[in-house]
Amino acid sequence: MKKLITGILIVVLLLAGCSGEEQTQGTSQEQDYVFEYNGITINLNSNAEPIIKELGEPMEYFEAESCAFQGLDKTYYYNGFELTTYPNGDDDYISSIYFRDDSVSTPEGIYIGSSAEDVLEAYGNEYTGGENTYIYTKADTSLTFIVENGEVVSITYQALVEGLN
């Protein structure tokens, strides 16, 4: 399985290198969904090291061998949210942000406890998912809201990375 993933990554990198356009890590980040916490903007798929340093010491930390990549997946627990990373070469990149309570919100003001109507007003009707799940996709990220009884009970930002999803 790892050989297959490695082969696919090599082909994708070769094709990207032949595209004629110069791309850098984070080119699409301006179009991605971002999370802001205490004045820190967190872009998914971006290098985790400077963000982790800026966020400071986490309340808790957990790491485990990555199922999709070579290295360790890491989870950092902060007040109100958890941030996970995936390894890529010698660096770790932001893979997801999961809201743990209503002390944090999206830049559009949606938090755990917001109404489904608030989500639709802030993000619109262009979503996938089911009756109680709203999945919004932008560039290399998705933003998922799970609703029960008309109220948001879960919010997750997810990086869209080959092999991760």
Ordered by start, the domain boundaries in the chain are: 30-159
Would you say 74 and 66 are in contact if contact means Cβ atoms under 8 Å apart?
no
Would you tell me which CATH number, out of the four given (3.40.630.30, 3.30.465.10, 3.40.33.10, 3.40.50.300), belongs to the domain 30-159?
3.40.33.10
Go through 138-160 and write b for each residue having 16 or more CB atoms within 10 A of its CB, e for each that does not. eebbbbbbbbeeeebeebbbbbb
Predicted TM-score (pTM) of the model is 0.78
Q: What is the pLDDT of residues 70-96, one digit of tens each?
A: 778 899 999 999 999 999 889 999 999
Q: Where are the alpha helices (DSSP H) in 23-161?
A: 48-55, 116-123
Looking only at the bridges linking them, the beta strands covering 133-138 and 91-99 are unpaired
Which of 23-27, 78-82, 161-165 has the least mean pLDDT?
23-27
User: What is the 3-state composition of the chain as percent helix, strand, coil, each rounded to the nearest 5?
Assistant: 20, 40, 40
Q: What is the pLDDT of residues 40-77, one digit of tens each?
A: 999 999 999 999 999 999 999 999 887 777 778 899 99
Q: What is the pLDDT of residues 136-162, one digit of tens each?
A: 999 999 999 999 999 999 999 999 987
pLDDT category at 163 given cuts 50, 70, 90 is: low
Residue in the structure block whose two tokens are 């998914």: 44
Compute the CA torsion angle 113, 96, 94, 110 (nearest 10 deg): -20
Q: Is 53 helix (H, G, I), strand (E, B) or coil?
A: helix
pLDDT category at 2 given cuts 50, 70, 90 is: very low
Q: Is the pLDDT of residue 6 over 60?
A: no
Highest mean pLDDT of the ranges 4-18, 20-34, 128-142: 128-142
Average pLDDT over residues 117-124: 97
Would you say 158 and 142 are in contact if contact means Cβ atoms under 8 Å apart?
yes
How far apart CA 69 and CA 2 sit, in angstroms, is 8
